[in-house]
Structure 1
Amino acid sequence: MSSTLAKIMEIEAEMAQTQKNKATSHLAKLRQELITPKGEGFDVAKTGDARIGFVGFPSVGKSTLLSNLAGVYSEVAAYEFTTLTTVPGVIRYKGAKIQLLDLPGRGHQVIAVARTCNLILIVLDVLKPLGHKKIIENELEGFGIRLNSKPPNIGFKKKYKGSINLTATCPQSELDAETVKSILAEYKIHNADVTLRSDVTADDLIDVVEGNRVYIPCIYVLNKIDQISIEELDIIYKVPHCVPISDHHCWNFDDLLEKIWDYLKLVRIYTKPKGQLPDYTSPVVLPYSRTTVEDFCMKIHKNLIKEFKYALLWDHTLEDEDVIQIVKK
């Protein structure tokens, strides 16, 4: 175990007896060390319209699931973290090309790749899901990845003078002026405007101050459902963000793919050449947060925006399965 991880565990154990805000910010600084890359890492070229990272313990069926979905062979053996490299595969679903990454183990370089994903799938053995789930969640959290959550609704702006100016637009259950000042002092920040727009925690404030968190949707894939009862399966179906499957029998893959599509929030735009019918075979796929006509043009080619004259739309904004015709100068 690295010395940084050991220190983190010590501080977490002592937080009950320590001044909480100081311990929390010191913990955040140690976690920052974990996020900072060390040595030569590796990366995988990002291709397609979205990227999904598969994370999980050995023998939960992670590599088999990816192989079944994408036809990618991932070298498997019976020792810990058995996938030897980050193996990319690509599936085409509803017209979108989606890159699948089998992430080997949970080291620095692997987490660096996980931070670039649009969606994370945590693959769990349905017979022992909770223990593995908590361990993986804690490790991803420690590397600055926030699962199924949105950035804290906190305004934060450093300034040269004027001390700490705190504004709260709603009652706060944890943070007050002294706590905020104490946390910021740990980062040698003594002049800043802070606006709390919802009931937030010290951890939320630290996330905003550090500014390097990534917020990624996550699906928990509970594998090996062929080994449980129908009654147990009914309970699992009610758990948020979960999809039960059997990779051995290829059960419930349709539900998994639908859930993946919902969580990726991709938008398909069809092009209509002048004087022709729309091309419904090859959509231009955009993330839901970037659906302007300019985004559409840039996705096709960066030079298209220079030649752009006007666009014919069949709606005011670009939404999934809309049709657009671009007219050049």
Structure 2
Amino acid sequence: MKDEAVARAMRSAGGGEGYSVKKSGDATVVLVGFPSTGKSTLLNKLTGTKSEVAAYAFTTLTVVPGAMEHKGAKIQILDIPGLIAGAAMGKGRGKEVIGVVRGADMIVILVDVFNSSHVDVLMKELYDAGIRINTAKPDITIKKTSHGGIRVSSVGTLDLDTDEIRSIFAENKMMNADILIRGNATQEEVIDAMLGNRIYVPAIIAVNKIDLIEESQRMDIVRDLKSRFSMDPAMISAHTGYHVEQMKDRIYDTLGFMRVYLKPQSEAADLEEPLIIRTGSTIEDVCRKLHRDFVDRFRYARVWGHSVKHPGQRVGLPHHLKEGDLITIIIEH
């Protein structure tokens, strides 16, 4: 039942009034927290945007975007209305808020020092909305077939047995499919792969207002969150600006950016202005970033750097790039 409710909430999470935000920059980060944890103040400190700040709940009624420039990357930061318990089921403006979160490249889970236990509730809301935090997408391929029942093949050690997998699919009225599982997988991961609407996003926890408590209390919060979530929380004060610069580094590092350089054909390379792309990006990603026509008009690219065996190697669209690569893209004119 709950999965159905969540699916309903996600289907209608297409962005209600004031919630459809055009993504811009190199990546989008969303600040997720309960009302009045200091999201608007943090957005203002990170980006210089003026989001309405007041000392009472529910001041952010629409999504407020801000742009943060850091180490050459342009990062869009979204301050969204505070999440409340039950958001995944559509409580409050939960559906719309969750819809924005699902479109982000990274999540900052923001709590304040007096409510660090809220992390549990926020994690649960995100989980119930089909958002998987700091988890690799399981390598499971499911091909629906017209007959033959559920056929399971696996590469590597799999702790689940075939009957368990068959019963999961039977419960969801799927009787015929070829399933390939690479590596190990839990029941939850098989269900996630079968439902196919899960989002896998990196996240960090930030604890705000640390200027209001003693050092010993800060250490207790760090120990508690680290032991329960295996994450080092960013301890900040958005109001005083304490550790906000370190937080910018944290966001940049978590997003996994790398720099590549463009060399126009028969011209010198532009080493002043790197192109900021995400780790694991391909030549195709670079083409899309440069101009929407480049993929269609693409002939080939030449690359100098760590991703190729020899300098100036000719590569195609699927070629994966590495930090510091130099690229020349040849297109049809």
Q: TM-score range by the shorter chain?
A: 0.7 to 0.9
Number of residue pairs aligned between Structure 1 and Structure 2: 300
Structure 1 residues 322 and 32, CA gap change in structure 2 (3 angstroms): same
How far apart, in 1, do the equivalents of 2:265 and 2:177 lie?
Answer: 54
User: Is the contact between residue 280 and residue 321 of structure 2 (CA under 8 Å) also seen in structure 1?
Assistant: no
Look up the match of 1:204. 189
| Cα displacement string for residues 197-235 of structure 1 (whole angstroms, at most 9, x for unaligned residues) | 444333222111110100000111111122233344445
Q: Give 1:151 shift.
A: 1.5
Look up the match of 2:45. 68
3-state secondary structure, aligned to 2:114: coil
Structure 1 residues 176 and 283, CA gap change in structure 2 (3 angstroms): same
| Cα displacement string for residues 147-200 of structure 1 (whole angstroms, at most 9, x for unaligned residues) | 11112233322211111123454252xx44343223212322111223444443
Q: How does 1:249-288 map to 2 (within 5 A)?
A: 249-273=240-264, 277-288=268-279
3-state secondary structure, aligned to 1:127: helix
Q: Which moved more, 1:180-189 or 1:64-73?
A: 180-189
3-state secondary structure, aligned to 2:258: strand
Structure 1 residues 313 and 187, CA gap change in structure 2 (3 angstroms): same
Match of 2:20 among 20, 25, 43: 43
User: Is the contact between residue 147 and residue 215 of structure 1 (CA under 8 Å) also seen in structure 2?
Assistant: yes
Look up the match of 1:101. 78
How far apart, in 1, do the equivalents of 2:257 and 2:15 lie?
Answer: 33
Look up the match of 1:153. 139
User: Is the contact between residue 274 and residue 325 of structure 1 (CA under 8 Å) also seen in structure 2?
Assistant: yes
Structure 1 residues 149 and 309, CA gap change in structure 2 (3 angstroms): closer
How far apart, in 2, do the equivalents of 1:27 and 1:196 lie?
Answer: 26
Q: How does 1:1-329 map to 2 (within 5 A)?
A: 26-37=1-12, 41=16, 42-106=19-83, 107-130=94-117, 132-168=118-154, 169-172=156-159, 175-234=160-219, 239=226, 240-273=231-264, 277-292=268-283, 294-305=284-295, 306=297, 308=299, 310-315=301-306, 316=308, 318-326=321-329
How far apart, in 1, do the equivalents of 2:330 and 2:143 lie?
Answer: 43
Look up the match of 1:7. none
Question: What TM-score does the superposition give when structure 1 sets the normalisation length?
Answer: 0.82
User: Is the contact between residue 261 and residue 273 of structure 2 (CA under 8 Å) also seen in structure 1?
Assistant: yes
User: Is the contact between residue 261 and residue 271 of structure 2 (CA under 8 Å) also seen in structure 1?
Assistant: yes
User: Is the contact between residue 28 and residue 206 of structure 1 (CA under 8 Å) also seen in structure 2?
Assistant: no
How far apart, in 1, do the equivalents of 2:14 and 2:292 lie?
Answer: 34
How far apart, in 2, do the equivalents of 1:143 and 1:162 lie?
Answer: 33
Structure 1 residues 39 and 237, CA gap change in structure 2 (3 angstroms): closer
Structure 1 stretches of 5 or more lacking a match? Answer: 1-25
Structure 1 residues 38 and 124, CA gap change in structure 2 (3 angstroms): closer
Structure 1 residues 118 and 235, CA gap change in structure 2 (3 angstroms): same
Residue type at the aligned position of 1:314: G
Q: CA RMSD in A?
A: 2.5
Residue type at the aligned position of 1:32: A
3-state secondary structure, aligned to 1:226: helix
Structure 1 residues 112 and 38, CA gap change in structure 2 (3 angstroms): closer
Residue type at the aligned position of 2:121: I
User: Is the contact between residue 14 and residue 99 of structure 2 (CA under 8 Å) also seen in structure 1?
Assistant: no
How far apart, in 1, do the equivalents of 2:282 and 2:300 lie?
Answer: 18
How far apart, in 2, do the equivalents of 1:156 and 1:273 lie?
Answer: 43
Residue type at the aligned position of 1:96: A
User: Is the contact between residue 259 and residue 276 of structure 2 (CA under 8 Å) also seen in structure 1?
Assistant: yes
Look up the match of 2:314. none
Q: Which moved more, 1:225-234 or 1:84-93?
A: 225-234
How far apart, in 1, do the equivalents of 2:276 and 2:78 lie?
Answer: 20
Structure 2 stretches of 5 or more lacking a match? Answer: 84-93, 309-319
Identical positions, percent = 38
Structure 1 residues 158 and 283, CA gap change in structure 2 (3 angstroms): same
User: Is the contact between residue 301 and residue 327 of structure 2 (CA under 8 Å) also seen in structure 1?
Assistant: no
Question: What TM-score does the superposition give when structure 2 sets the normalisation length?
Answer: 0.81
Structure 1 residues 200 and 276, CA gap change in structure 2 (3 angstroms): closer
How far apart, in 2, do the equivalents of 1:312 and 1:201 lie?
Answer: 40
| Cα displacement string for residues 223-254 of structure 1 (whole angstroms, at most 9, x for unaligned residues) | 11222333444455562142111112111122
User: Is the contact between residue 222 and residue 232 of structure 2 (CA under 8 Å) also seen in structure 1?
Assistant: no
User: Is the contact between residue 297 and residue 304 of structure 1 (CA under 8 Å) also seen in structure 2?
Assistant: yes
Q: Give 1:38 shift.
A: 6.4
User: Is the contact between residue 220 and residue 243 of structure 1 (CA under 8 Å) also seen in structure 2?
Assistant: yes
